[in-house]
Amino acid sequence: MKDPEMLDRDGEDGGAPILRICGASKAFGGVQALENVSFEVSQGMILGMIGPNGAGKTTLFNLISGLYPPDAGRIFFNEEEIQRLPTHQRVRMGIARTFQNLALFENMNVLENVMVGQHVRTRCGFWGAIARTTGVRREEAACRENALALLDMVGLVDQALKPSADLPFGWQRLLEIARALASRPRVLLLDEPASGLNALETGRLGDLILAIRNQGITIVLVEHDMSLTMSVSDRIIVLDQGRVLASGTPEEIQTHSAVRTAYLGEHCEQR
C-alpha cells in the first residue's frame, strides 16, 4: 500500500518544514494544557501524535487552526507567521482539520457539507448570489462536481442527499474528512479519526490517509489506535502533560522506555 518513494523515514530531511511550532504554550485557568511545545512537520509527511487523554493534542490543533490564541510561542506555516491570523484565513492558506467529537453541519445534507467545505476555494458573494450570473452558476456546478468526486473518494457518493446526521458514525467521520479535503488543504490535521470505528473501518481509514498523503497533502494524525498510527506515520511525537516527551520514527518510539511507561501503559521492568 505504501509508496516507497514517498516514504522518508530519515526524519531530518532537507525540505523546509511546512508547519513549525515554536515554544507554544496554552493554559486554561490553572491547567497548563501546553507548555513550550516545539516541533516541525516537513512537507508531504505523516506525523503521528500520541499521548494520553488530556496531554494537549486537541489544544495544539486548536492553536494551529486558530480557534484559540496561544499564550506564548509562534506558529509558522510555510515560513509565514500565522498565530495572529483568524481561522478562516489559515484555512485559505491551506490548513484544514477535523474534530475529535465530529462537527458536521447537521442542518445540511451530505453533499452540502462537502460543498460548504469548498468555501475558501469558491468566490460567489452576496450580490453574485442574488444576480445568479452564468459565472456563478458555473462555479456552483463545479463545486457540486468536486463535492461528488470527494464523496466518491471516501465512498459516500450514494449517500449524497441524506441528512448528514442520518449517517452511521463511521461514515460521519469519513464525511468530515471529505469536507476538510474540500478546502484543498496543504496540511490536514486529523483529530482521532479512528475513534468509534471498527477494525475493518479503521483499516480502510489507514488506506485513505495514505491516499491523501500521496496527493501531496501533509498530515498530522492524532490517534489512539497504535497499530494505525505506527503503520502510517513517518514520524511520531509523544505529548504528555503538555510537553513533548519524545519524537522519532515509529520504531524508535516503540522502544522508547519513557514512552512505554507514560503512554503505552506498560510497566517497564527494571533493566
Smallest separation (angstroms) from other proteins to the CB of 192: 15
Which one of 7, 16, 103, 199 is in contact with other proteins (CB under 8 A)?
A: 103
Nearer to ligand ADP, 44 or 51 (CB): 51
Ramachandran sector of residue 156 (left: φ over 0; alpha: ψ -120 to 50; beta: rest): alpha
59: partner contacted, choices ligand ADP, Mg ion, other proteins, none (Cβ within 5-8 A by kind) = ligand ADP
List 20, 33, 48, 58, residue binding Mg ion (CB under 5 A):
58
Closest C-alpha to 222, from 172, 263, 255: 263
DSSP assignment of 135-203 equals HHHHHHHHHHHHHHHHHHHHT-GGGTTSBGGGS-HHHHHHHHHHHHHTT--SEEEEESTTTT--HHHHH
Applying CB under 6 A, the residues found at the interface with ligand ADP are: 28, 31, 33, 51, 53-59
Q: Strand pairing of 187-191 and 17-28?
A: unpaired
Q: Closer to other proteins at the Cβ: 161 or 200?
A: 161
Smallest separation (angstroms) from Mg ion to the CB of 224: 9
Partners of 17 in the β-ladder: 42
Residue 102: how many other CB atoms lie within 10 Å: 17
User: Which partner, other proteins, Mg ion, ligand ADP, none, binds residue 97 by CB below 5 to 8 Å per kind?
Assistant: other proteins
The binder of Mg ion chosen from 78, 87, 100, 261 (CB under 5 A): 100
- Which is closer to other proteins, CB of 85 or CB of 226? 85
Closest CA to 178 of 162, 190, 196: 190
Least separation in angstroms between residue 75's CB and ligand ADP is 16
Q: Is 237 in the site for other proteins (CB under 8 A)?
A: no
Choose between 92 and 204: whose C-beta lies nearer to other proteins. Answer: 92
Exactly one of 46, 57, 70, 99 binds other proteins (CB under 8 A); which one?
A: 99
Question: Is residue 87 within the footprint of other proteins (CB under 8 A)?
Answer: yes
Closer residue to Mg ion (CB): 54 or 170: 54
Q: Is 23 in the site for other proteins (CB under 8 A)?
A: no
Helix (H) / strand (E) containing 72: strand 72-77
Nearer to Mg ion, 58 or 109 (CB): 58
**What is d(CA 28, CA 30) in angstroms, rounded to the nearest whole number?**
6
- Structure-block grid coordinates of residue 11: 526524519
Judged by CB under 8 A, does residue 80 bind other proteins? Answer: no
Helix extents (H) in the chain: 57-65, 87-93, 110-117, 126-131, 134-154, 169-181, 199-214, 226-232, 250-255, 257-259
Interface residues with other proteins (CB under 8 A)?
A: 65-67, 86-88, 91-92, 96-97, 99, 103-108, 112, 115-117, 119-120, 122-126, 128-130, 132, 136, 139-140, 143-144, 179-180, 182-183
